[in-house]
């Protein structure tokens, strides 16, 4: 489990898969991510902390993903309206970085 505080990924698409949950898709801009890590969904000044239930890239399950990877991030206990295109996934304790649309 990496819990990289520098992790960030802009969400470019969101899917809801019945029986699995909500998947945020995007390219990792910085840092690494593993299943079990906590991330913050950041939208404007609002933040919601969630747990990464799984990672997938091109229909393959990953133990870890890093900078430049295009991934689907399965978010545990997250409704399909809790994350949307344009949101940022940020590592917990991600510093002063704020994303503006």
So what's the pLDDT on residue 80?
A: 79
The whole domain housing 26 covers: 8-91
> DSSP letter string over 50-97?
EEEEEEEETTEE-S-EETT-EEEEEEET--TTS--TT-EEEETT-TT-
Task: Name the band, by pLDDT with cuts 50, 70 and 90, for residue 92.
Answer: confident
- For residue 57, tell me if it sits in a domain: yes
- For residue 3, tell me if it sits in a domain: no
- For residue 62, tell me if it sits in a domain: yes
> How does pLDDT run across 39-64, given as a tens digit for each residue?
999 998 888 999 999 999 999 999 99
Taking residue 60's Cβ as centre, other Cβ atoms within 10 Å add up to 7
Is the pLDDT assigned to residue 98 strictly greater than 80? no
- For residue 99, tell me if it sits in a domain: no
So what's the pLDDT on residue 99?
A: 43
- 43: domain CATH number? 2.40.30.10
* Count of structural domains within the chain: 1
Among residues 25, 24, 31, 91, the alpha carbon closest in space to that of 67 is found at 31
């Amino acid at each position: 489990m990496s819990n990289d505080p520098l992790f960030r990924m802009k969400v470019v698409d969101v899917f809801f898969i019945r029986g699995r949950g909500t998947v945020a898709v995007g390219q990792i801009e910085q840092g690494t991510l593993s299943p079990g890590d906590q991330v913050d969904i950041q939208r404007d000044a609002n933040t919601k902390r969630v747990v990464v239930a799984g990672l997938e890239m091109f229909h393959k399950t990953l133990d870890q993903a890093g900078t430049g990877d295009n991934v689907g991030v399965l978010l545990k206990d997250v409704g399909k309206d809790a994350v949307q295109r344009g949101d940022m996934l940020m590592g917990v304790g991600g510093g002063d970085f704020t994303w503006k649309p």
